[in-house]
A and B are shown apart, each in its own frame.
Chain A
Amino acid sequence: MKILVPMKQVPDLVEELEIDSSGKRLNRDFLKFKLNEFDEHALEEALLLKEQHGGEVVVVTLDMAEADNLLFTAIAKGADKIFKIPGNCDEGIDCHSAAQMFATAAKSIGFDLILTGVQAADDRDGQVGMLLAAFLGLPHVSVVTGLSLEGASAIVHKEYAGGVMAEFEVVLPAVFGIQAARHTPRYAPVSKVRQAWKTSKIETVDGGTVPASNGSVVNRMFKPESGKRAELIEGSPDDVAGKIVDLLKSRGLL
């Protein structure tokens, strides 16, 4: 079982996001990046499947900020091979183009299963996993929280609202958008990541040339103005507590 996991870095949302002078993009000079949370779950699920059934986990990423660190961290967690698709994507890339590059790369690497994160918060043209499935002509299920293998098929749970899930049986190869792995993603000790930098090698895989996407243009990027501004409750913790109690009383909640 060869499991392919495309992974990406996204801006760390704990930091202040600044819009650049064009008014259409984030100012990338000061962005801090972190691994997309759902990709950690996708990798975890892949590693769990490998531990259960054998095979290999192959992580692939585009040539973007901190790609090398992402790949070596994956090795430290247990991935077997790491690939980078060349082509400077530091300015970001839309999902349709990324999915086309992954489709080309996936065909040359080979795979039985592709696990992506369910989504990332930094792009507006959909989810790469499902686009990739369509470009490869493969079955797909998104928002997956449970995954097991039965012969040549995977049994997956897809989450709906209200805690309801649907169970599907899917003939492999397939693409799944992972929402949550069976358990909390493992942690990679810094020493192991450092070791991976020294001993592992990043392989290169061609993503082909991708025509510029069109169909929509960005007019502006802005911070949403909330219609309703919350009223600030300030002071020492005890003051704040007192004010909340008063307000609960006045609203008949206490």
Chain B
Amino acid sequence: MPNDVFVVAEHLKNKLSDVTFEMLGKGREIADACGGKLVAVVLGSGTKDLAAQLGVADSVISVDDPALEHFSPEAYRIVLSSVVKDRQPKLTLIANTSMGMDLAAPLSAELNIPLVAYCKGLSADSGNVSVTSQLYAGKVDVESSITSAQAIISVLAGSFAGDAGRSERTPSIEEVRPSTSLNDLRVKFRRLVEPEPSDVDITKEEKLVSIGRGIQSQDNIALAEELAAALGGAISASRPIIDNGWLPKSRQVGKSGMSVKPKLYLTLGISGAPEHVEGMKDAATIIAVNTDPRAPIFDIADYAVVGDLFDIVPALTERIKGAKG
């Protein structure tokens, strides 16, 4: 319907991801402002329990089929595309996550509906929708207005409050069958690959010293390790450190790594790209060391040290050792 807001629920291993509730909370507000309904769309197999958690929505469209048991870029796109084509919602909110990236853009191209991605802000005023997108790794925002009858918006995780998207209410669920066959597709799910078990679980550590590309070389990691040891914490890292093979994947913080919530998160040479921030913004105390005074990490840090980590870290390690006696 012309004023409806659809939210595509995202789930993995039978658990809805937080961004689903964040989108539902925001979607509720937008649907009300536009005089439309909020509809959650769940694709999967045996997802009754999941659908039941979407009570903030006026209704849930559930496409339950064995072929949808695991996320598939192809099967999910085919089904979602036919749902959106059929129902013509004003807005379709899709998470700007790994899964969402395989849905939002292809849907936009296929259905010729405009897409506004990297959404971190969304508002509606007398039916006029305005979207704020986060660009340039968090350094610049762009606000745009939707000028067409329909749009797809891909929403960054952590942008909206999740509480507004949760409700005890039981939603009305409409079962929908896939309109085309999902056999003989070109993308086949094989298996989930779990991370290697690791010595340290960074999600359980109270103090993390987190290193980024500013550390420059694998040899320099010892500096950070010494600091972490003095503090009684562990080291974690941004993605490039892991991609370089300098630390195991289990130490990665961020969108495709771990989400951490330590008492102390001390960053050394991390710029604060949105994909990193997503995994650590809820740390209780954030101290950031970076040579660039404009680094986005300072926008979410509690304490900012504009300086060279190679000057600060040795001095700090020494002081901490001294303080502990």
Contact = CB atoms under 8 A, between A and B. Distances in A.
B264 A248 contact: yes
Interface stretch (A49-57, A106-114, A200-208, A237-245): A237-245
A96 interface: yes
A12 to B, nearest CB: 10
Interface string A130-155: 11011100011111000000000001
Contact of A161 (B17, B74, B194, B304): B17
B252 interface: yes
A216 B145 contact: yes
A141 B245 contact: no
A124 B104 CA distance: 12
B191 A139 contact: no
A247 interface: yes
Given A124-B118, A216-B144, A251 B316 contact: no
Interface in A194-219: 213-219
Contacts of A190: none
Q: B-side binding surface: helix, strand, loop or mixed?
A: mixed
Contact of A177 (B101, B207, B245): B101
A60 interface: no
Nearest to A138: B186
B303 A247 contact: yes
A237 B101 CA distance: 43
Nearest to A128: B105
A180 B255 CA distance: 14
Nearest to A159: B256
A215 B311 CA distance: 50
A132 to B, nearest CB: 8
Interface string B132-172: 01111111111111111001001000000000000000000
A21 interface: no
A119 to B, nearest CB: 8
Contacts of B315: 237-238, 240-241
Contact of B257 (A163, A183, A222): A163
B116 A216 contact: yes
A131 B258 CA distance: 29
B256 A126 contact: no
Interface in B234-290: 239, 243-245, 249-250, 252, 255-259, 263-264, 271, 285-288
Contact of A140 (B106, B138, B139, B304): B106
Contact of B134 (A118, A216, A224, A242): A224
A221 B141 contact: yes
Contacts of B195: 162-164
A169 interface: yes
A135 B130 CA distance: 27
Nearest to B98: A143
A22 interface: no
A127 interface: yes
Nearest to B207: A253
B299 A163 contact: no
Given A143-B101, A155-B190, A216 B151 contact: yes
B99 A184 contact: no
A170 B142 contact: no
Nearest to B81: A134
Contact of A164 (B133, B194, B285, B299): B194
A171 B188 CA distance: 9
Interface of A: 11, 13-14, 16-17, 19, 26, 95-96, 99, 118-119, 121-127, 130-131, 133-135, 139-143, 155, 157-171, 174, 177, 179-180, 183-184, 213-224, 226, 228-234, 237-238, 240-242, 244-245, 247-249, 251, 253-254
Given A124-B135, A168-B73, 9 more contacts: A13-B136, A135-B109, A143-B101, A161-B97, A166-B70, A215-B113, A215-B147, A230-B300, A232-B306
Which 3 A-B pairs give the minimum distances between C-beta atoms?
Answer: A215-B114, A163-B195, A134-B109
Interface of B: 12, 17, 70-74, 97-99, 101-102, 104-110, 113-118, 130-131, 133-148, 151, 154, 185-195, 207, 231, 239, 243-245, 249-250, 252, 255-259, 263-264, 271, 285-288, 292, 294, 298-307, 311-312, 314-316, 318-320, 323-324
15 contacts: A139-B73, A140-B73, A158-B73, A164-B192, A164-B193, A166-B71, A174-B186, A213-B114, A217-B145, A218-B142, A224-B134, A224-B138, A233-B304, A241-B318, A254-B323
